[in-house]
Amino acid sequence: MSMDPQELLSLCKRRGFLWPAYDIYGGLAGLYDYGPLGAALKKNIEEHWRALYVLGEGFHEISCPIVAPEAVFKASGHTDAFSDMYVECTKCGETFRADHLVTGLHEAPASLDEKQLGRLLKENKVKCPSCGGELTDPKRFNLMFRTSVGAGKGKVAYLRPETAQGMFVNFSQVYRFGREKLPVGAVQIGRAFRNEISPRQGLIRLREFSQMEAELFLHPDHKSWPRYKDVKGQVLELVPNKGKPVKMTLEDAVKAKTIANEALAYFIWLTYKFAIDVGLDASKLRFRQHLEKEMAHYAADCWDLEADIGYGWTELVGIADRGSYDVQAHISHSGADLTAFERFDEPKEVEQQVVRPNFGALGPLFKGKAKQVADGLSKLHVGSVAGKDGVTVEVDGEMCSVPSSCYEVVLKKEKVSGRKLVPHVIEPSYGVDRILFSVLDHAYTQKDDYVTLRLKGLVAPIKAGVFPLMARDGLDEIAGAICNELTKAGLAAYYDDSGSIGRRYARMDEIGTPCCITVDYESKKDGKVTIRERDTAKQLRVEIAKVPRAVETLLSGGGLEPVSALR
RNA sequence: GCGGCUGUAGUCUAGCGGUUAGGACUGAAGCUUCCCAAGCUUCAAGCCCGGGUUCGAAUCCCGGCAGCCGCACCA
């Protein structure tokens, strides 16, 4: 536990990072507005993520709709949550699947709605299996927001509960765009929605939130990434689901099977780099492997980046090897061919024995059904035909006896130049709002009553404060001009001439502005201004013309030393 | 969703059936050659919403909403 989250939330509200949404109407739990500083911070975090994944790793960024038809979530398994109805014991509080309690009392419990289930439970006087207490009426958990598209009854649709599905369903497009090579990656930054039962803890559990997700599609036998070799010697602290926390290199972790494969290891590393870059405190971060029971049944491996913040250890990022589950699910449900083609080094001649129907004999015998019988014959294994006088083939539920004169077993030669394969997926999934809140939490420092947000230059919403020591005698004009120059250089600057100079510094410190520029009476004589570094309160005189470069230098880290070396 | 606690300016808070609802910080305007929330003057801003009890409610009761803490949930 690092600090009281309420204090941080107060600051956020006071200074324009965050506001409870729709506050004048009493608000709505689980929704927050980002104020100007919060929106800027969020943008900076997202921008850096984009720089790493899109520019750095060559992932393809796409942007899919938030509303999606029901079929998508039937395939993904998300609608399964709707069929789960729960009852709670009024005495001991334990919860049970309602359909499980009526097994044996009804032929198809899963088909019942909550009223029918409730009646069935009452009629049969079903009590709590563990303590015998009274049960509540069945309730369904509905974690997706449901809506309908179009007029009248419309078509059932949902707000996406994650951005990932948009990338899975677009695999073929992304694959083709990437010139039909594996691995290929897609990313998406966007909003997702979950109708949480009880959202709490500020930005940690929202009903509408932002995700940055990447889907890396890989060859199932080659789960690596080109840059793995550059980072494999890096050491990370890992909390595996078996044994004690360990400090080891990525290479050792993969060799020891602590991390399932090289690609997963690489993106764990990239996640760590991202976290440090945006200013999270390394001593308050850990990678925790999902427990066996926590992991989805199809997942080969899954690691969470957790941060220690005021609420305790909190999941910020999940990095999972999802195998072929998602893509395969969409293949099965949609019938689309979401496969990659693996070309063999040399085309192979494949010889195969197949059953070939003899239409000359089938036609007169089966007339209109001949085609269907032939199809059935083609599907038979050679082994089930060999040495028999005839076989039976099912046509429209009817068994037809087919004499051996109607088919023959032949050797078929085929040239095969490759094979289709369903890609495996490694999914790094980042919760933007949680990351943003953790960045603030880790940046928050307090000395007596003086609060400083030690935000890194990369993410700070405002890069520099610019003040005239006095708002007169032309100092204000010089300061205004400097402010303009900074803005022109793409650096968000904030002009302030109200109150004492100390108060103005304090204002900037509290919102994490990395440096301040002060114009004083000397400036008019020597053309220099004071640049002050937030975290040390140290100052340096620099020429006005060099201010934008000085600020840039300071933002890139390393303090005032490199600034004084500027020429 | 259940149970407990809570709700007063932007923030923190005083109030305990009758107050012009008080303060601190912040904010705004101004004075002050002002480099670390200095000082002074002036100003702005509040009882979560809706019912009820009462001559009278920020205060008591009920409902809603929101927040916190536990339980459950977190696909």
Query: What ipTM is given for this predicted complex?
Result: 0.92
| Distance CA A497 to C1' B22 in A | 32
Minimum-distance residue to B39 (CA–C1') = A500
Q: What is the CATH number of the domain that holds A352?
A: 3.30.720
In terms of domains, do A65 and A202 share one? yes
Residue nearest to nucleotide B49 (CA to C1'): A26
Structural domains of chain A, count? 4
- The domain boundary, picked from A454, A478, A501, lies at A454
Helix (H) or strand (E) holding A417: strand A407-421
The answer to whether residues A329 and A357 belong to one domain is no
Same domain (yes/no): A192, A322:
yes
Distance CA A53, CA A426 (A): 14
Residues A361 and A482 in one domain: no
The domain boundary, picked from A433, A454, A475, lies at: A454
Q: Which residue range forms the structural domain that includes residue A28?
A: 1-80+143-339+422-454
Q: Are residue A96 and residue A234 in the same domain, yes or no?
A: no
Same domain, A411 and A448: no
Name the nucleotide nearest A205; use CA and C1'.
B74
A381 plus A481 within the same structural domain: no
Q: Which nucleotides of B are covered by protein (CB under 7 A)?
A: 1-2, 10-12, 26-29, 33-39, 48-49, 64-75
State the pTM of this model.
0.87
| Residues A15, A8: Cα–Cα separation, whole Å | 11
The verdict on A159 and A257 lying in the same domain is yes
Q: Give the pair of three-digit tokens for residue A500.
A: 């004492």
Same domain, A169 and A301: yes
Virtual torsion, Cα A347, A351, A354, A358, nearest 10 deg: 90
A53 & A107 share domain: no
Distance in Å, residue A23 CA to nucleotide B19 C1': 30
Distance A10 CA to B12 C1' (A): 10
Whole-angstrom distance, CA of residue A187 vs CA of residue A430: 11
Domain boundary among A125, A141, A157: A141
pLDDT one digit per residue (tens) for chain A, 567 residues? 457 899 999 999 999 999 999 999 988 999 999 999 999 999 999 999 999 999 999 999 999 999 999 999 999 988 876 556 677 776 666 677 776 777 777 766 666 666 777 777 777 777 777 677 777 777 766 789 989 998 877 899 999 999 999 999 999 999 999 999 999 999 999 999 998 888 889 999 999 999 999 999 999 999 999 999 999 999 999 999 988 999 999 999 999 999 999 999 999 999 999 999 999 999 999 999 998 878 877 788 999 999 999 999 999 999 999 999 999 999 999 999 999 998 888 888 777 777 777 777 777 777 777 777 777 777 777 777 777 777 887 777 777 787 877 787 777 777 888 899 999 999 999 999 999 999 999 999 998 889 999 999 999 999 999 999 999 889 999 999 999 999 999 999 999 999 899 999 999 999 999 999 999 999 999 999 999 999 999 999 999 999 999 999 999 988 899 999 987
Do A238 and A151 share a structural domain? Answer: yes
Q: Find the residue closest to B11 using CA and C1' atoms.
A: A14
Distance in Å from B7's C1' to A554's CA comes to 44
CA A151 to C1' B51, whole Å: 39
H or E element that contains A341 = strand A340-357
Residue–nucleotide distance: A91 CA to B61 C1' (Å): 29
